[in-house]
A and B are shown apart, each in its own frame.
Chain A
Amino acid sequence: MTFEDRKGRGRYSSRSDRLFTGLTLVMVVAILFLAGLMVLQLLVASIPAMQALGWHFLVGMDWDPVHEHFGALPFIYGTLASSLLALILAAPLGIGVAIFLAELAPPWFRAPVSFMVELLAAIPSVVYGVWGLFVMAPWLRNMVQPWLSEHLGFLPFFQGPGFGVGILAAGLILAIMVVPTITAVSRDVLMAVPNHQREAMLALGATKWETTWKAVIPYGRSGIVGAIILALGRALGETMAATMVIGNSLDISISLFAPANTMASIIANSYAEATYGLHAAALIEIALILFVITLILNIVARLLVRRVAIGPVRMEA
């Protein structure tokens, strides 16, 4: 990079440069325009539902297209409950694998394991769904749920009959699907922690364990939080696999055994019947809510991950 180069930036030295710049600019504008247009369209198309239903849409529990009663709470609840469960299961596992890969595994072992974990992310979600429905759900019904009700049945989460399909099944499937995200991002965050932080710890007579827990992880903490939020975004929006194993019911129950429904799956299940105005508008409003939730989470995640790149969190005692 010379002085000349820098002076040249912003000035178009030749026609081809100008053409190239113009072309890429058009593409950028087109993408932004498309994204904006989509939000706008969602907003406009859901106005009838907002006007007709108001806040009831967010808190109502009835979903009856025939009588035009639309309350989306069961879907919002089902989405949040299954995603949250997925994170509770996937975060420790994903972070554990990331720590292993970044801190403990010998290099020759690191690459194949990373590859296998990332391969999990490439499996189409319908494959997870089929597996969840025909393999995991019966296993849950016959083995896991009886055990849980027997030993932990005093907790409200594990009460009622176990059908196999339900929030528990959806949470498990989603957990498997988001582990690769958490692992890959956390591993990158941990590997970006400068070596001098580790060496500073070790030179004080810290063990490997102490070094990892008290120097490496605190340094990468906000990046790991970012990884979890990215995974949450993925779980919230997952449609196919969740639809296939969550049981598609309108109930809201604290029990993880209960079948439920998600925002993505009600859209996927009923868009074909939504032939008249309010029903369609209600589905679109659900899409809008899902979009907004995911957008907010992604922005938060980006900000957190970027803070790691700039510098660690400042922890005051």
Chain B
Amino acid sequence: MDQEIKIEVDNLNLYYGSLQALKDVRIQVSRKAITALIGPSGCGKTTFLRTLNRLNDLIDGVQISGQVLLDGEDIYGNGMDVVRLRKRVGMVFQKPNPFPMSVYDNVAYGPRIHGTRKRSRLDEIVEKSLRDAALWDEVKDRLKGSAMGLSGGQQQRLCIARLLAVEPEVILMDEPSSALDPISTLHIEELIRELKERYTIVIVTHNMQQAARVSDSTAFFLNGQIIEYDATEVIFTRPRDQRTEDYITGRFG
């Protein structure tokens, strides 16, 4: 097993009914690195991301074939505990989706369902997670206030804190800053770069600059296929495929 590879996807095909959304996807995601997924709308980025924590399992009529190895273990294999898998591979969604409860309870939720009951321990986890998500200073005086009262950017960072509290190994991010203003976006990007120290991150983004700024490697998706996958620097400076170049220079479609 290659120590540098966290996730290895091979020959992955996904159908929504008769529509093939992923075609023979093959990619290796490095440990403690940021991998960006770019590509035009509808090309399968979200779908791919959701195969990594088996969130697509919930959709009726989805058929998946191929292999996704997490630390060498097939997550679609028979012995896989999906609930445990999702604890290891967490996700931040495109739209902030805090629970309609207090800031504190949002962050404490994961630890609680995984068995942490002691108040003092929960307090520690909540503070640490909020600090890691660069939100602590803004909310430390309103932990008991409703999460729905936070701004969009704060809500998204709260969702990140909520995720960090369950200590995942991999963080999937689906356009985490698409609903946010430039300042909040920069906050989140800074945060993502810091998180890289401890987590493996896969991020979908429509923002080329964002991909170039934060990621180590970049995959270009088109019509459910990975057209090109390489170091971010290579993709953005000397792509090998004409379609990649067209896309990143905005000449696409």
Nearest chain A CB to B57's CB is how many angstroms away? 9
Q: Given contacts A196-B97, A199-B93, A202-B55, is CB(A316)–CB(B146) below 8 Å?
A: yes
Contact with A along B102-125 (1 / 0, CB 8 A): 101100011001100000000000
- The reply to whether B100 and A313 form a contact with Cβ atoms under 8 Å apart is yes
Q: Given contacts A196-B95, A204-B113, A218-B100, is CB(A316)–CB(B83) below 8 Å?
A: no
Task: Tell me whether A206 is interfacial, beta carbon within 8 Å.
Answer: yes
- The reply to whether A204 and B90 form a contact with Cβ atoms under 8 Å apart is yes
Nearest chain A CB to B130's CB is how many angstroms away? 15
Nearest chain B CB to A106's CB is how many angstroms away? 8
- A194 to B148 CA separation, bound complex (whole angstroms): 15
- The reply to whether A199 and B97 form a contact with Cβ atoms under 8 Å apart is yes
Nearest chain B CB to A223's CB is how many angstroms away? 13
- The reply to whether B166 and A205 form a contact with Cβ atoms under 8 Å apart is yes
- The reply to whether B100 and A203 form a contact with Cβ atoms under 8 Å apart is no
Nearest chain B CB to A210's CB is how many angstroms away? 5
Nearest chain A CB to B21's CB is how many angstroms away? 18
- The reply to whether B55 and A199 form a contact with Cβ atoms under 8 Å apart is yes
- The reply to whether A204 and B148 form a contact with Cβ atoms under 8 Å apart is no
A:205-235 near B, CB below 8 Å: 205-207, 210, 214-215, 218-219
- A201 to B166 CA separation, bound complex (whole angstroms): 12
B:39-92 near A, CB below 8 Å: 53, 55, 58, 60, 83-88, 90-91
Within the complex, which residue of B60, B91, B97, B144 is in contact with A316, where a contact is CB–CB below 8 Å?
B144
How many chain-A residues does the 8 Å CB contact rule pick out?
27
Task: Tell me whether A315 is interfacial, beta carbon within 8 Å.
Answer: yes
- A194 to B99 CA separation, bound complex (whole angstroms): 11
5 contacts between A and B (CB under 8 A): A196-B97, A204-B87, A204-B162, A205-B84, A314-B100
Q: Given contacts A214-B109, A316-B146, is CB(A204)–CB(B166) below 8 Å?
A: yes
Chain B residues, CB < 8 A from A315: 100-102, 105, 146
Task: Tell me whether B163 is interfacial, beta carbon within 8 Å.
Answer: yes
Sort chain B's interface into a size bin. 20 to 34
Chain A residues, CB < 8 A from B114: 205
Q: Given contacts A205-B110, A206-B83, A316-B146, is CB(A200)–CB(B97) below 8 Å?
A: yes
Nearest chain B CB to A215's CB is how many angstroms away? 6
Contact with A along B14-56 (1 / 0, CB 8 A): 0000000000000000000000000000000000000001010
A:92-137 near B, CB below 8 Å: 106-107
Residue of A nearest to B148 (CB): A314
- The reply to whether B100 and A317 form a contact with Cβ atoms under 8 Å apart is no
- The reply to whether B86 and A202 form a contact with Cβ atoms under 8 Å apart is yes
Nearest chain B CB to A208's CB is how many angstroms away? 9
- The reply to whether A200 and B159 form a contact with Cβ atoms under 8 Å apart is yes
- The reply to whether A197 and B97 form a contact with Cβ atoms under 8 Å apart is yes
